[in-house]
Amino acid sequence: MFTGFFYALRRYGLDVSLNEWLTLMEALRLGLHGSQLTDFYELARCVLAKSEADFDRFDLAFAEYFRDVESVRELPAEFLNWLAEAISRREFDKDEVDARFGGGLNLEELKKLLAERLAEQTERHDGGGKWVGTGGTSPFGHGGYNPAGIRIGGPGRQKSAVQVAAERDYRDFRQDSALELRQFQMAFRKLRNLTVKGDGPKDELQLDETIQATCDNGGFLKLEFDRARKSDVRLLVLFDSGGSMWSYSRLCSRLFHAVHESSHFKELKAFYFHNCVYDDLFTTPECWHQESADTKSVLQGLNASWKILFVGDGAMAPSELLSRGGCLDYYRVNDEPGLAWLRRFAAKSVHTAWLNPIPQEQWEYTWGSQTIRLIRKEIPMYPLTIDGLDTALHHLMAPR
């Protein structure tokens, strides 16, 4: 009977295997769901969602398949203000709730009754068993005791499964969502490549080796030390600034701060460009020529050990990428096409990647799709999401 739910989960991108699905069916057979939808929700999420990153997709599929009945966005603002604060009411026992509201109404009847209440109600109500309000036994509102109503605003007391799913508390855990500063910082830890260097004292405790040595020593503690390890990663980050990138400036600012706050790079350089790299790179996002560096000099300071990361939407007029003099700066004329400069960077290090803030599913038809396609042929491109950044950083660290 839940086959449609299986396909709903797949439709929302959850990689639910048949083995996991059969495990859920076995759990149902054993009665682990407690014959309640809320318990089934928790059971199914436990079995089918592999990590917190899947919780939001699971909730979306669950709310769709089991028909979310909340429509808070359609309520007048006045009602939402009334419901902002709940007034404490006395506890009701189950028999009293059943007496005040007999139940038995299906979803369509509840929706119709709610529409009638919204048309008739003219003031705030707290308690009672009829109006939209807080506390009490009314089927509409929140903070009350009716087990079969529609929660509107505020926290639910009964916490039905569909309501819980509709809250979408886990949307920030999704791996395909735009990144926040902390997520950037955690992702860049993957760019660590620690090596033992120097002839200094061996004064850093090696925990794993200490455990193994203690076991080998019959359980008597034996401490193992080694020289401190330092990162040998060199990273060059090139940010597209201005124009179509303004709409992504906040996201790129987080990335910039995360990069500069990272302390595990042996060397770190950051420059800016507008749309494409030409003869000059800029040291500030304003892209002023009085604060610039010669691109050839920057390239000469790199070797194959450097990791190169471009950040930009790649969307521009084809002439900016393919033509001499295609640079938009009226006072500057590029002697070589921008594509030639990108090829030089790609040739300097195989550890080169491009992060694009435009959603990946739009790359083939958005404005600038032609130039995005051309750049992707020269430099591996990844979406600026958690998954995309993770894949890009693995590419930068992959042995060659």
The pLDDT tens digits for 112-123 are 776 676 667 666
Provide the pLDDT for residue 159. Answer: 45
Provide the pLDDT for residue 256. Answer: 78
Give the chain's mean pLDDT.
76
Confidence of residue 400 (pLDDT cuts 50, 70, 90): low
- Sign, CA dihedral 398-179-260-353, equals positive
Provide mean pLDDT across the span 280-292.
Answer: 87
Could you give the percent of the chain with pLDDT greater than 70? 63
Provide the pLDDT for residue 325. Answer: 84
Q: Could you read off the pLDDT of 224-247 as tens digits, one per residue?
A: 887 666 667 888 999 998 888 887
Q: Could you read off the pLDDT of 331-377 as tens digits, one per residue?
A: 677 889 999 999 999 999 999 999 999 999 999 998 899 999 999 99
Q: Could you read off the pLDDT of 300-320 as tens digits, one per residue?
A: 999 888 999 999 999 998 999
Asked if 388 and 398 count as a contact pair (C-beta separation under 8 A), the reply is no
Whole-prediction pTM = 0.52
Could you give the percent of the chain with pLDDT greater than 90? 24
Q: How far apart are CA 40 and CA 18, in angstroms?
A: 18
DSSP readout, 173-224?
G-TTSPPPHHHHHHHHGGG--EEE-SS----EE-HHHHHHHHHHTTT-----
Provide the pLDDT for residue 399. Answer: 75
Higher pLDDT, residue 264 or 374:
374
Q: Could you read off the pLDDT of 315-333 as tens digits, one per residue?
A: 998 999 998 888 877 667 7
